[in-house]
Structure 1
């Protein structure tokens, strides 16, 4: 029996059709518990060209370090006013901005503790599969002990750390395409 080859497809640029109702640039509501933070940045390719059709999907724990997910069996309260999820499209200049709360630390493997972080999926044209990365917060004491961050070579960790600007907004960029400045992405 002869089988025809399956065509190769990428995740973009059409992944966003029908998903606009899921776009949320503010993951909070007035009753959400925790410190609100704004995160902004830009998605560019390895040559610095704007990627103007990307979308970021953000997952995170609440301020107490509890995920709103049935597999999080910690004895901590779920914040009924915080889902811990949002999708943010970039604009024509590849820029994005969203508001959320700073998450609490969460348990890691073998009794370790993971520093407060956001899990980010990047969808963009030309990608056969979305990319998985994280955002950590500059100055967070637990960064030094985070087991996943410790696996990243010291010279590359800065691609995962959002830095607060003078206006209090955390800045974090996504750089694609294999340069030495490329954002660190994880396999799963």
Structure 2
């Protein structure tokens, strides 16, 4: 038997909870102690990878989270427990909040990693973007100018006009990679099957 409560008996809502709305709960739910420090001070060849996350109207998204996964300079991935190691080393993983629309990581340029069937790929960094209103993360890659991009299987599968959305631009202290979630400059995103 169900009972319908009179309006006066309904307790006041404490506010939205994660199951009631999509974000922005990233600062609380996905905190990561090392934050954007993917490569600590003891790692040679550190660079800065930074950019802005834009919405479909070209406005910066002020409360997104960008997550980074990458191989080290020799093309090796760190095992999962290693991502929690001391700040001095290389973790291969980081998280950056976009409080002003900007994200940034201190990392290294990765070495090439072969595909699962052994084919050569250009060095890349994988990024996941979590933002308000998105039910699933958006996943993309960052490639670097000057590498052999023509031989990369993923880039070769894209129309030439779309490839540039995956290539970073040089900056004074590393590289810049802006992320456009929608619109005319939309970044290419990958279907990684996490539904």
Given the two structures, how large is their TM-score scaled by the length of structure 2? 0.78
Unaligned ranges ≥5, structure 1: 1-6, 71-79
The structure 2 residue matched to 1:118, chosen from 121, 125, 128, is 125
* Distance apart, 1:120 and its partner CA: 0.4
Unaligned ranges ≥5, structure 2: 1-18, 81-87
* Distance apart, 1:8 and its partner CA: 7.6
Stretches (4+) displaced over 4 A? none
Structure 2 CA distance for partners of 1:23 and 1:110, relative to 1, 3 Å:
same
The structure 1 residue matched to 2:150, chosen from 138, 144, 160, is 144
The answer on 1:187 being equivalent to 2:191 is: yes
- 1:71-90 maps to which residues of 2 (within 5 A)? 81-90=89-98
* Equivalent in the alignment of 1:17: 28
CA distance in 2, matches of 1:131, 1:85: 17
CA distance in 2, matches of 1:186, 1:95: 22
* Distance apart, 1:153 and its partner CA: 1.4
* Equivalent in the alignment of 1:175: 180
Which structure's CA Rg is the greater one?
A: 2
RMSD: 2.0
Given the two structures, how large is their TM-score scaled by the length of structure 1? 0.81
- 1:20-35 maps to which residues of 2 (within 5 A)? 20-22=31-33, 24-33=35-44, 35=45
Aligned length: 167
The structure 2 residue matched to 1:41, chosen from 41, 47, 51, is 51
